[in-house]
Chain A
Amino acid sequence: MSKKKENSFEESLKRLQEISEILEKGEVSLEESLKLYEEGINLAKFCYNTLKEAELKITELKKQFESELKDNIRNGNVL
């Protein structure tokens, strides 16, 4: 995850937190709450995608590492 993206993940999480608190207070109009709700859903989607991406990246890196290790063992680098 690049630096910028990583920050925006944390920021979206924080914003999500804020929205849930605002909505919880319930002092906003329907219009406003709908807007907030939509924003919240989008943020959640963004967070899930970022996490999914991270997960894929890790699995990928792990696979790469393991295959490299096997290559090492296969062609005799490991005594």
Chain B
Amino acid sequence: MFENILSVSEITNLIKSVLEDGFSEVNVIGEISNFKAHVSGHWYFTLKDANAQINCTMWRGLNNYVFFTPQDGMKVIVSGKITVYPPRGNYQIDVRAMKPAGMGELQLAFEKLKQKLAAEGLFDPEHKKPIPKFPQKIGIVTAIDGAALQDMKSIAARRYPLCELVIAPCRVQGEGAAEEIVSSIKLLNQYDDIDVIIVGRGGGSLEDLWPFNEEIVARAIFDSKIPIISAVGHEIDFTIADFVADLRAPTPSAAMELATPNIEELFAFINEFSYYFTQNMYNIIEDYKYQVTQLITSYGFRIPYDNIKNRIQYLDNLIFRFQTLVDNKVNHEKNKLELLSSKIQSYDVSNVLKRGFAIVKQNGKVVHRLKELCLENPIQLHFYDGEIKVNE
């Protein structure tokens, strides 16, 4: 006993070399707990199972390559090597790479984050900002080389060529994508003339879409002062981004359609508006015409006409009476005149008779020619000194 006494350092170094030689390449599966991402960017956490636990560290340079942010309770597989840390006398896994133990893990992490953010109220409807109807500038956060961007561009050009697209390109999958999405959203928020932002990407696996399930992306969307439409993957894909966004679109193309009015509809509206507006004006004019006509043919305006007609009639009567009076007078005078003239005539006739002539009359008319004389009828003879009837 008590031979070959070692100092603490000696023993620790011995252990260190034994362990580090023996376990230079290990792959360990376990559940994450006490996960802490240090400000320096290094990750510290423990892996555990039912009976044991082991400390792990992952240096910043390496953890950059992990496409997801580990969460407590998540089952993962790490690969790395055992290292001993003499000052504290403990051993840990120096993790070089990490991946979820299975897809289920991601789903689990998704559900957990979803509940956490829901509890914080990030999904509450009252935080949803309305999407503007006629955007002048639309921000787009997606991959610069993705099909999604091309689709969105062509739809915007077709539906609403008036709007301007402001693209803040970023990676949409894999390591560092989440951070790039966040910086793109923040970048667009520095402009004060962007009306709406579409954040999204084309279809992909759960792992491909994972950046849109990251908490930092969720918070960036929530904090954006500009309304955000999320458009991640296909119709069936739901990411945390979709829950936080002000509006969820099933696909990037659908997002652009939701963000823009359709120029065809606008033209139709203008057309229809101008038709009804014109019709409306014509109606107003017809009404006024009707009103004027009503007035001008109203009883009041007929009165002068009636008055005049009555007075004309009255005048006519007067005139008629005058006329008859005058006529009578004239007739009267005429008769007198006639009498006188016949008297006068009779005078010059008597001179002729005086010289021995006689007038032959039959039934009151003078017989001018012998052939006019009718012997059967009585004949009157006028002599200067009187008349006689013969042949009675």
Contacts and interface: CB of A to CB of B under 8 A. Distances in A.
Interface of A: 13, 16-17, 19-24, 26, 30, 33-34, 36-37, 40-41, 44, 47-48, 51, 54-55, 58, 62, 65, 69, 78-79
B278 interface: yes
Contacts, number: 75
A48 B296 CA distance: 11
Interface in B12-49: none
Interface string B298-322: 1111011101100100000000000
Contacts of B161: 79
B274 A65 contact: yes
Contacts of B263: 78-79
Contact of A23 (B281, B289, B291, B301): B301
B117 to A, nearest CB: 41
A21 B300 contact: yes
Contacts of B60: none
Nearest to B310: A30
Interface of B: 157-158, 161, 263, 267, 270-271, 274, 278, 281-282, 285, 288-289, 291-292, 295-296, 298-301, 303-305, 307-308, 311
Interface majority SS on B: helix, strand, loop or mixed?
Answer: helix
Contact of B292 (A13, A22, A26): A13
B292 A20 contact: no
B292 A44 contact: yes
B56 to A, nearest CB: 58
B285 A55 contact: yes
A44 to B, nearest CB: 5
Contact of B295 (A16, A30, A54, A69): A16
Contacts of B301: 19-20, 23, 37, 40
